[in-house]
Amino acid sequence: MLFSSVPFLFYFLPIVLISYFLAPRRAKNSVLLLSSLVFYGWGEPRYLPVMLGSILQGYVFGRLIERFRGTKRAKLFLVPSVFLSLGTLAYFKYADFMIANLNALTGLSVPLLRLTLPVGISFYTFQILSYTVDVYRGTVPAQRNLIDLAAYIAMFPQLIAGPIVRYSDIAVQLKTREHSVSEAASGARRFILGLAKKILLANLLGELVSDFRASADLSVLYYWLGAIAFTLQIYYDFSGYSDMAIGLGRIFGFRFPENFRYPYLSGSITEFWRRWHISLGSWFRDYLYIPLGGNRKGSARQLLNILLVWLATGLWHGAAWNFVLWGLLYAVLLTAEKLFLLRGLQKLRVLNHVYVLLFVTLGFVLFDASGVQDAAQSVRAMFGGGGLPLVSAESLYELRSCAVLLLLAAAGATPLPKNLYAALQHGSTGKSILAVLEPVGLTALLAVCTAFLVDGSFNPFLYFRF
Amino acid sequence: MEKRKNLAVICLTSVFLLGFLIWSFLKPDSAVSQSERRKLAQKPDLTAAAVLNGDFMTKFESYTLDQFPLRDGFRRLKAAVLLDVLRKKDNNGIYLADGYAAKLEYPLDEASVCHAAERFQLIYETYLAGTDTKIYEAMIPDKGAFLAPQNGYPSLDYSALSALLQENMPYAEPVDLTPVLSLDSYYRTDLHWRQEALLPVAERLAEAMDIKLSAQYDTVTAGAPFYGVYCGQSALPLDPDPLRYLTNETLRSCTVYDYETGSTGPVYDLDALEGEDPYSVFLSGSKSLLTITNPNVDTERELVIFRDSFASSLAPLLVSAYAKITLVDIRYVQPERLGRWLTFDAQDVLFLYSVPVLNHSETLK
C-alpha cells in the first residue's frame, strides 16, 4: 500500500489511528504489528511469510546470541542469522543478476528465476542485520517480546522505504513512549508536507521524466531536462517518503532518524553522502566500513574499504551493472576527495556546488538508465555527442510548461521554505497569523494532494524497487 | 498559542481524513461519470482468491478513486492548481488556448500511420482492386493544427503525415481538406468539427469526386447545451458549445439502416441530444456499419465511406448526390468480414480519417 493513495489515507490510516489510540498502552504494539501486517499484505500477500520468517529468525537468533554473548557460541548463532538474512536478500534480489552474468560468462543457459522482489526486503533485512549484530556486540539487549520485535521490524511507517531505523534507536520507545498533542501535530505536519513533496513535486517531475523517456523528439536540452527532473524527482520521492515515515512515527510516539538534510546544497560528494539517505550511509559505515577496518589499517586498506562499501551500496540499490557503476563512481569521487580534492573544494564557493550537482546528476542518469549502454548514450547525448539538435519543439514546450515546477522544486531543495517559516514565526503578529494559517494551510495542502490523487494515475514510488 | 495551533492541526487533519472515510461509506456508489463519460469502478467482491492474487486490492484502489466523494470537485481543484498555480500548460494532455480546449496531438507516430495504411491496403486488396470503384482519401486535421503552433504548443507535422498516407495509398486520390478548414470549424469543448461549418468541406469533396450537392439547409440549434468531451477530460469549467445540425427535405426523407441492430431510423437521432454524448445526434454515434438511403435522387450513384466519428456529421451533407451512402467504421468491425454485407463494383469510395485516429491507429481492426 502506498502512503500516497486513497486506500491508505482515507481507509487504512484513520482506522489504524482510532484503533491505536483507543487501545490500552500494553496493546499498542500489537495494534501496530497487526496493522503493519495488513499494510504489507495489502500489496504483497504472498511475501508476508518471507517477512514473518525473517522476523522469526531475527528473534530466535537474537535471543540465542544474547544467551551465549561473550562466548564463541554467540558467533555460531550470529553467522547463520547473517547468512539467512543476506541469503534471503540475495535469493530474491540478486539471483537473476548472478545467473544472467554466469550465463554470459560461461555460455550456459541456466534459466532465470524471474522472482518478484518482495517490497521493502532491502530495508527490513538491514534492520534485522543491525539488530542481531548489535545484540552480538552487546550494544542492545535482545528483545524478549516477539510482538515488540516484530512491531519494530514490520512497523508500517518505515517498512517499505525506510529510513533504516536501528533497533537501538527505538528500543526504549518500544516499551515506553509518550504520546502528546504537540508530537502528534508535529507528526501530522511532517506527514502532510512529505505527502505534498511526493504528490505535488515528485509525481509531476516524474511525468516530465516519463514524457522525456517516451519522446521521439529528443534534443540535448531534453536530455538535460530529463536528467535534472529525475534528480529532483528522486529527492522529493524519497525524502517525501521519509518525511511521511518520520511524521507517522511521531504520531505513534516514535522518533525515527532523519534521512535527508538538503543534500543538493553540499559542497563535496563527501558532504553529499552525509546529507543523502543518511540512515543507509551510517548503516554501511557502522556495519561494513568499520568492521572492515575503516581507516585504522593504513591508506591502501582504507581505499579498498571505501571501494567495497560503495560496491555494496550500488548493489543494494539494484541488481544491475549500472548500479554497480553508480557505486563505483562514488567510490572514485570519494577516494579522490579523500586524497586531494577535498582541500581544493573547500576553498571554492560556487564551483564546488557545480561539481557536486554535475556529478550527482550524471550519477542519477546512470542510476536511472535501463543498462550501462543506455547510460553511456544518455551521457554522450547530454554533451552533444548524440548528433541531436540542441533544442526540439517538445523540449521547449516541456521547459515552458514545467518552469514553475522546476523552480519550486529547486527552491524547495534548499532551506529557503524553512527559513521563511522561521522568519514568519518571529514576533507575536507572525505567530498569530501562523496560528490560523498553518492548520488551514495544511488542510488545504491535504485537499490539493487528494485532488491530485483522485485525478491522477501517475504515482510510482521509486524506492519501492530497493 | 502553540497549543491551540497544534490542536487545530490535529482536529482539522482528523476531520478531513475521518470525514471522507465516513462519507465514502455512506455515499451510494455512482454507476457512471457524466463529466468523464465513462463507467465508474464498482466495489470488488472480497474473496480469498482475489485477496491472495492482489486482484481485490487493485480493484479496490480503482473503486475508491472512482467513487471518492466530490470527485468532480477534486478534479477541478487539481486542474486549477496545475494550470493556475504551477502554470503547467496542459492538464491530462488537454490545453486551453483562444477559448478552445484541445488535446495535445504530438508527435507524429509514423508506425501508427503505416498501420492504418496497412489496414486500408487490406480493404483495397480484398474488395476494391480490379473493380470500377473510384477511391479517394482525405485526412481530417485535429483542431490543434490551427491552434497549437500559434499558441506555443507542440504540433505534429501534418504535411509529413499527409505525405506518408499518400505514399502508402497510391490507389487513392488525395483530397486536401486543410484549406477549407479553420479553427472555427471545430467545437470549442469537443474534438469534433461542427456540422454547420462543414459546407466548404462537403463542396471540396464534391469537387474532387465530381458530384453536385444541394446547398440549401435549415439550421436547427439543439435546446440542450453541448459539453464536449474535453470538458470532462480537462476537468475545467468550460462554457458549453451550441450544437447545431443542418437539415432539409432530402435529409428528412432519408433512412439509415443499422446492420448491427437490423433497425432503420432517421439521419439525426434527436434523443441523443439529451444523452451522454450529444454529438451522437449525427447518425447515432459509434456504429460499425450503416447505410443511408436517399429515396429522392435521380441517380444510382453510391458512396462508401471508411471512416471515424468525424464522418457522422459530414456524411449527411453528401447525401443529396447519392442514392446510398454506406459508412464503415473498422474500429468496430473486422474488414475481413465486410464481404458478408457489401459488394464493391462501381461506387465512390472515400477513406476519411481524422488525425487522432491515424496517429493512434491501434484501435483499427
Question: What is the spatial distance between Cα A109 and Cα A231, in angstroms, rounded to a whole number?
Answer: 37
**DSSP conformation class of B274:** G
Residue type, A54: S
Residue B32 C-alpha, separation from nearest chain A C-alpha, in angstroms = 16
Residue A212 C-alpha, separation from nearest chain B C-alpha, in angstroms = 12
Strands B263-265 and B302-307: unpaired
- Asked whether B218 and B268 are in contact (CB, 8 A), the reply is no
> What is the band of A347 on the pLDDT scale with cuts at 50, 70, 90?
confident
B200 or B37: which carries more pLDDT confidence?
A: B200
Using an 8 Å CB-CB cutoff, list chain B residues near A446: 13, 16
B48 touching A, CB under 8 A?
A: no
Question: Residues A53, A462, A452, B225: is their CA dihedral positive or negative?
Answer: negative
The minimal CB distance from A402 to the residues B8, B88, B155 is found for B88
B24 touching A, CB under 8 A?
A: yes
Is A164 in the same domain as A305? no
- Asked whether A167 and A143 are in contact (CB, 8 A), the reply is yes
Residue A464 lies in a domain: no
Which three cell numbers, joined as nine digits, stand for B195? 456540422
> What is the band of A378 on the pLDDT scale with cuts at 50, 70, 90?
very high
Residue A362 lies in a domain: yes
Query: Which residue is closest to B6 within chain A, CA to CA?
Result: A185
Query: Which residue is closest to A2 within chain B, CA to CA?
Result: B61
Q: What is the mean pLDDT of residues A61-77?
A: 94
Query: Which residue is closest to B92 within chain A, CA to CA?
Result: A456
Residue A345: predicted pLDDT: 87
Which three cell numbers, joined as nine digits, stand for A418? 524553512
Question: Residues B240, B241, B242, B248: is their CA dihedral positive or negative?
Answer: negative
Q: Minimal CA–CA distance to A221: which of A458, A407, A386, A356?
A: A386
Q: Which of B3, B4, B5, B56 to mutate to test the interface with A (most CBs of A within 10 A)?
A: B5
The minimal CB distance from B74 to the residues A189, A400, A454 is found for A454
Residue A422 lies in a domain: yes
Using an 8 Å CB-CB cutoff, list chain A residues near B78: 448, 451-452, 454-456
Contact B12 A447 (CB under 8 A): no
Is A237 in the same domain as A357? yes
Last residue of a domain, which of A177, A212, A229? A177
Contact A443 B77 (CB under 8 A): no
The minimal CB distance from A434 to the residues B5, B52, B54 is found for B5
Residue A404 pLDDT greater than 90, yes or no: yes
Is A208 in the same domain as A224? yes
Is A351 in the same domain as A406? yes
Which three cell numbers, joined as nine digits, stand for B135? 477511391
Residue A461 pLDDT greater than 60, yes or no: no
Query: Which residue is closest to A435 within chain B, CA to CA?
Result: B5
Residue B232: predicted pLDDT: 84
Query: Taking a contact as any Cβ pair under 8 Å apart, which residues of chain A between 100 and 139 contact chain B?
Result: none
Residue A461 lies in a domain: no
Q: Minimal CA–CA distance to A164: which of A33, A280, A254?
A: A280
Contact B88 A10 (CB under 8 A): no
Question: What residues make up the domain containing A153?
Answer: 6-177
**Which residues lie closer than 8 Å to B168 by C-beta, 6 or more apart?**
B113, B114, B117, B118, B120, B121
Q: Which residue has the cell 548503516?
A: A283
Residue A463: predicted pLDDT: 55
Contact B64 A6 (CB under 8 A): yes
- Residue pLDDT, tens place only, B7-64: 999 999 999 999 999 999 999 999 988 777 788 899 999 998 898 888 899 999 999 9
Share of chain B above pLDDT 70, in %: 100
Residue B274: predicted pLDDT: 87
Chain-centre distance of CA A114, in angstroms? 24
- Residue pLDDT, tens place only, B317-330: 999 999 999 999 99
Q: What is the tally of structural domains in chain A?
A: 2
Using an 8 Å CB-CB cutoff, list chain A residues near B113: none
Using an 8 Å CB-CB cutoff, list chain A residues near B60: 7
The minimal CB distance from B77 to the residues A43, A440, A451 is found for A451
Which three cell numbers, joined as nine digits, stand for B156? 505534429
A188 touching B, CB under 8 A?
A: yes
Residue A460: predicted pLDDT: 55
Residue A44: predicted pLDDT: 75
Is A306 in the same domain as A217? yes
Residue A466 lies in a domain: no
Is A225 in the same domain as A256? yes
For A194, A230, A237, the CA distances from A201, given in Å and listed in that order, are 10, 11, 8
Query: Whole-number mean pLDDT of chain B?
Result: 93
Q: What is the mean pLDDT of residues B201-214?
A: 93
Using an 8 Å CB-CB cutoff, list chain B residues near A403: 87
The minimal CB distance from B74 to the residues A402, A435, A455 is found for A455
Query: Taking a contact as any Cβ pair under 8 Å apart, which residues of chain A between 394 and 433 contact chain B?
Result: 394, 397, 400-405, 408, 431-432
Residue B286: predicted pLDDT: 87
Report pTM: 0.89
Is A262 in the same domain as A171? no
Residue A464 pLDDT greater than 80, yes or no: no
Q: What is the mean pLDDT of residues A211-233?
A: 95
Question: What is the spatial distance between Cα A200 and Cα A206, in angstroms, rounded to a whole number?
Answer: 10
Residue A462 pLDDT greater than 60, yes or no: no
- Tell me how crowded residue B237 is: count the other CB atoms within 10 A of its CB: 9
| Residue A317 known to be catalytic | yes
Is A219 in the same domain as A346? yes
Residue A321 C-alpha, separation from nearest chain B C-alpha, in angstroms = 31
A455 touching B, CB under 8 A?
A: yes
Beta-ladder partners of B226: B241
**Which residues lie closer than 8 Å to A112 by C-beta, 6 or more apart?**
A96, A99, A100
Query: Whole-number mean pLDDT of chain A?
Result: 93
Last residue of a domain, which of A177, A210, A245? A177
**Which residues lie closer than 8 Å to A367 by C-beta, 6 or more apart?**
A234, A317, A322, A323, A326
Residue A152 lies in a domain: yes
Contact A10 B17 (CB under 8 A): yes
Instruction: Check if the interface score ipTM surpasses 0.85.
Output: yes
The minimal CB distance from A397 to the residues B68, B81, B154 is found for B154
Query: Taking a contact as any Cβ pair under 8 Å apart, which residues of chain B between 217 and 256 contact chain A?
Result: 235
Is A84 in the same domain as A169? yes
Is A138 in the same domain as A217? no
Question: What is the spatial distance between Cα A252 and Cα A255, in angstroms, rounded to a whole number?
Answer: 9
Residue A43 lies in a domain: yes
- Asked whether A366 and A325 are in contact (CB, 8 A), the reply is yes
Is A173 in the same domain as A211? no
Residue A457: predicted pLDDT: 59
Q: Of A179, A277, A317, A353, which is the active-site residue?
A: A317
- Residue pLDDT, tens place only, A243-274: 999 999 999 999 999 999 999 999 999 999 99
Is A137 in the same domain as A204? no
Torsion (CA) A389, A394, A397, A399 in degrees, nearest 10: -60
A181 touching B, CB under 8 A?
A: yes
Q: How many CA atoms lie within 13 A of A200 on its CB side?
A: 28
* Residue ranges with strand state E in B186-323: 218-221, 244-247, 255-258, 263-265, 289-293, 302-307
Last residue of a domain, which of A152, A177, A202? A177
A393 touching B, CB under 8 A?
A: yes
Residue A463 lies in a domain: no
The minimal CB distance from B13 to the residues A188, A397, A453 is found for A188
> What is the band of B335 on the pLDDT scale with cuts at 50, 70, 90?
very high
